[in-house]
Structure 1
Amino acid sequence: MVHNIIIREANEDDLNVLLQFEQGVISAERPYDPTLGKGKITYYDLNEFLISDDAKIVVAESDSKLIACGYALKKKARHYLDHEFYSYLGFMYTHPDFRGQGVNGLIVDALKKWSLSKGLTEIRLTVYDENTPAIKAYEKMGFKKHIIEMRIS
């Protein structure tokens, strides 16, 4: 477990590092997803997430250096579910030097608190089926497998 970690809301000053972290997420996911576009791609509208009332980006700092991030996004649920909205967690990134030390758990805890403060009791995330380390980490935090999306090309 890492000590002297500060979890805080991200701000515009963090944007350059967050954009680097986004590329880290994409690099980590490329081996699991042959459908990702070639070359440099982006996943998120981080500027929008920073100002939206329906999103929260949090970061972890160690010695004034950003080491991890994640976001929660309020999403409309499908009309047939028992909840109208849910919180979707994404952009989970931890710098390689700090992985396996509980930092992502601190990020998830902060995002869960934000979600609950918005009345969002259903919290979901997606992870690639072959990403066993991530699945095990999320299961340790209380997440359970729910559905598997399949594809053919």
Structure 2
Amino acid sequence: MNAVTARSATLNDLPTLHQFLQALVEAERPFDKTLQEGKIYYYDLQELIESDDAEVLVLEKDGNLLACGYAHIRQAKLYLKHTRYAHLGFMFVVPEYRGKGLNQQLIAELKKWILSKGVKEVRLEVYEENTGAVKAYEKAGFSKLLTTMRCELE
């Protein structure tokens, strides 16, 4: 049985990554009633793949993509102690491979890349009601920092 391996995404991966993105959008719809109907593209995946300040990582087994995620180095707000931070996003594991440690593998590999860039602050957003994802990120060392609140006016 071949192991699951990590590698940088390529432009050839875009069709599968776009499928993963739409599956992620569908999984997040129950948590956010403000999302538009139809296809949504949260990220410009080609730009991220081609950027020196981003790493789009995929996990692969037997030539099949099983998971993906990205780290993007960004400038921090002027009032923060750190000048740059890495934002994690597009964390997705195909349903049949969930619960097998792939998200932890992705995060560990992305953390290595982030450290190689001289960055030590890592942030991400997750829907608070998505308890499975929250627990997975807490297991990877993340802690809650801020809650975004909204109000719809009539």
Choose between structure 1 and 2 for higher RCO, CA contacts under 8 A separated by at least 6 residues. Answer: 1
> What TM bracket, shorter-length normalisation?
over 0.9
Q: When the two structures are aligned, how many residues end up with a matched partner? A: 152
Q: Deviations over 1:61-85 (max 9, x none)?
A: 1121000000000111111000111
Gaps of 5+ in 2: none
The alignment partner of 1:38 has SS state of coil
Alignment of 1:14-93 (within 5 A): 14-93=13-92
Identity %: 51
- Please name the residue that 1:12 is paired with: 11
SS at match of 1:152: coil
Distance in 1 between the 2:74 and 2:32 partners?
A: 24
Output one character per residue of 1:90-115: Cα deviation in whole Å (capped at 9) or x when no partner: 00000000001000111111110111
Give the alignment's Cα RMSD to 1 decimal. 1.2
TM-score (norm 2): 0.96
Gap change, CA 1:151 and 1:3, over 3 Å in 2:
farther
Per the alignment, in what secondary structure is the counterpart of residue 7 of structure 1?
A: strand
- C-alpha separation between the residues in 2 aligned to 1:121 and 1:136? 22
1:3 offset after TM fit, Å?
6.6
The one-letter amino acid paired with 2:67 is: A
**Unaligned segments of structure 1, at least 5 residues:** none
Distance of 1:35 and 1:120 partners within structure 2: 33
Where in structure 1 do 4 or more consecutive aligned residues deviate above 2 Å?
none
Q: 3-state SS of the aligned residue for 1:81?
A: coil
Aligned to 1:111: 110
One-letter amino acid of the structure 1 residue matched with residue 32 of structure 2: D
Q: Distance in 1 between matches of 2:37 and 2:4?
A: 35
Aligned to 1:142: 141
Which residue identity is paired with 2:63? S
Mapped partners of 1:22, 1:40: distance in 2:
9
